[in-house]
């Protein structure tokens, strides 16, 4: 029988050497986890020795305890009377509590009057807390790649055709064999509850309205079962980060296998180490006591093609999509592994390596050096999408779908589920308008003949294809 502790006893353990915490009535010894906490140890220590359930729930799903903590770290339960006494209104300068509101909802105009993603973003900056802004908006170093992700679309011209009956126009398509109502999906976006209390469930409910795909973030603030239940009409995938704690990753994969709504696994590869996101680091420095490093990166950095994919195939039967492909060589390499059914061309929203190529450049290099990739895998692009014309340009160049991350979070912040619906509707309407003006009735009719990319020729890789080397290195290991 589990031991029952008094909160006074728990409160004696609030140091790095002995750190206990009460979460949902249970007492945990998290001493070994303190130096591993991705958000830094200071935030843990400020909540040590007390009931931190409310603070924990504002960022994490309760199921994450099963992933990071072992059964022997659960020491027992806490007396119910003590937990009631410990409930208090969070103070603004202490604890893991929710961030303060920036502006009241009444300061915003009606959602239906917001006409573009850029406009929604500007209102989001009025609503989001400083912590949320530093996390969502920040990108690496000089943010050159983040800016280029969007700007590059301006260098591609559209080539409209006339005398085409486009009275009927459909955005329906399929991604990895799953029928979706839009070629636009929501990329994995972490801790959505920083934007709105409905969090990832609000995004799921909005996607459900459009039969759209949502890739659930590994670092979601809600559990995958809670998210998928909120979006019965949506299609779901799940983002995987392989942690240094491989056993914890395997436990999570076992949990995901029990959720039939999740149709494929998205293995994220573009951030084996964190980029230098100065705005985010600056905010965390203000939170950190005594100069303690604000972040310990928990992602495994020793992943390799054969070893990692063989391991993953032992723990999931779902199709695998590789996120973070940034060269045509790696796109080609992905075709050599039968378990890989798709790739996402992404530079982590400019949050990893600054001056890395944009997804559109990589897509053009695939067309130049190894166009067969487009017939072998579903190729998705992620980053910089703000207009329906951007969507159309990516699709015309061979992408099966385009992802939005920050835009969905901005919509969530200004209107919860309805705000995300507004984002998707704006992009859907703009995409359909662009298709009609191009003389295109359905997504599959878009082709390279609908775009002029000649302005980007000088910005593409001009060395040898390197495919023979890929063949030698990887096929010999298969």
Find, among 344, 297, 283, the residue nearest to 319 by Cα: 344
Q: Cβ-count burial of 278 within 10 angstroms (0-12 exposed, 13-18 middle, 19+ buried)?
A: middle
> Which residue in the block uniquely carries the two structure tokens 């999570």?
252
Q: Which residues are catalytic?
A: 241, 270, 348
* Distance from C-alpha of 338 to C-alpha of 47, rounded to nearest angstrom: 47
Residue 309, token pair as written in the block: 């994919």
Cα separation, 149 vs 350, in Å, equals 8
Apex 132 CA angle, 212 and 219, nearest 5: 55
Residue 222 CA: distances (Å) to CA of 58, 218, 376:
9, 10, 34
Block residue for tokens 């949320």: 132
Residue with tokens 């309805």: 418
Beta strands in 110-220 (DSSP E): 157-158, 173-175, 178-180, 184-186, 213-216
Q: Taking a C-beta distance cutoff of 8 angstroms, is the pair 379, 168 a contact? A: no
- SS3 (DSSP) at 199: helix
Exposed / middle / buried, residue 287 (Cβ in 10 Å: 0-12, 13-18, 19+): middle
Could you tell me which of 87, 72, 84, 80 has the C-alpha nearest to residue 31?
72
Which residues lie across from 235 on neighbouring strands?
213
Q: What is the DSSP letter of 238?
A: E
> Residues with Cβ < 8 Å from 435, sequence gap 6 or more?
166, 169, 171, 392, 441, 443, 446
């Amino acid at each position: 029988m589990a031991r029952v502790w008094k909160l006074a006893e728990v409160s004696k353990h609030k140091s790095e050497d002995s750190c206990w915490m009460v979460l949902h009535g249970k007492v945990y010894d998290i001493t070994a986890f303190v130096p591993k906490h991705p958000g830094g140890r200071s935030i843990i220590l400020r909540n040590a020795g007390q009931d931190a359930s409310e603070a924990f729930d504002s960022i994490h799903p309760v199921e994450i305890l099963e992933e990071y903590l072992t059964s022997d770290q659960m020491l027992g339960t806490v007396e119910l009377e003590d937990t009631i006494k410990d409930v208090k209104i969070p103070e603004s300068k202490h604890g893991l509590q929710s961030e303060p509101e920036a502006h009241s909802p009444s300061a915003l105009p009606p959602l239906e009057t917001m006409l573009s993603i850029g406009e929604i973003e500007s209102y989001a900056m009025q609503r989001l807390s400083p912590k949320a802004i530093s996390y969502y908006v920040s990108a690496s170093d000089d943010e050159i790649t983040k800016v280029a992700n969007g700007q590059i679309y301006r260098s591609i011209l559209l080539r409209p055709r006339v005398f085409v009956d486009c009275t009927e126009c459909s955005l329906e398509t399929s991604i990895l064999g799953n029928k979706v109502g839009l070629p636009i999906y929501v990329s994995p976006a972490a801790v959505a509850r920083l934007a709105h209390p409905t969090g990832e469930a609000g995004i799921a409910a909005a996607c459900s309205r459009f039969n759209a795909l949502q890739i659930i973030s590994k670092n979601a603030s809600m559990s995958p079962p809670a998210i998928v239940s909120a979006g019965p009409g949506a299609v779901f995938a799940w983002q995987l980060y392989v942690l240094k704690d491989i056993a914890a990753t395997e436990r999570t994969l076992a949990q995901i296998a029990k959720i039939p709504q999740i149709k494929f696994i998205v293995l994220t590869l573009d951030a084996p180490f964190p980029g230098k996101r100065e705005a985010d680091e600056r905010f965390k420095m203000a939170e950190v006591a005594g100069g303690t490093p604000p972040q310990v990166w928990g992602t495994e950095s020793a992943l390799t093609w054969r070893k990692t994919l063989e391991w993953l195939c032992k723990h999931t039967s779902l199709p695998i999509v590789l996120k973070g492909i940034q060269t045509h060589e790696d796109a080609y390499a992905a075709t050599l592994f039968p378990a890989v059914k798709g790739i996402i061309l992404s530079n982590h929203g400019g949050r990893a390596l600054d001056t890395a190529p944009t997804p559109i450049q990589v897509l053009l290099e695939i067309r130049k050096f190894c166009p067969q990739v487009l017939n072998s895998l579903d190729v998705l692009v992620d980053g910089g999408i703000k207009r329906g014309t951007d969507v159309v340009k990516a699709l015309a160049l061979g992408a099966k779908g385009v992802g939005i991350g920050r835009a969905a979070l901005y919509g969530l912040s200004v209107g919860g589920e309805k705000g995300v619906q507004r984002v998707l509707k704006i992009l859907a309407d703009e995409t359909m308008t662009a298709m009609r003006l191009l003389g295109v009735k359905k997504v599959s009719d878009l082709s390279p003949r609908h775009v002029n990319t000649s302005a980007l020729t000088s910005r593409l890789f001009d060395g040898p294809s390197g495919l023979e080397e890929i063949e030698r290195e990887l096929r010999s290991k298969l």
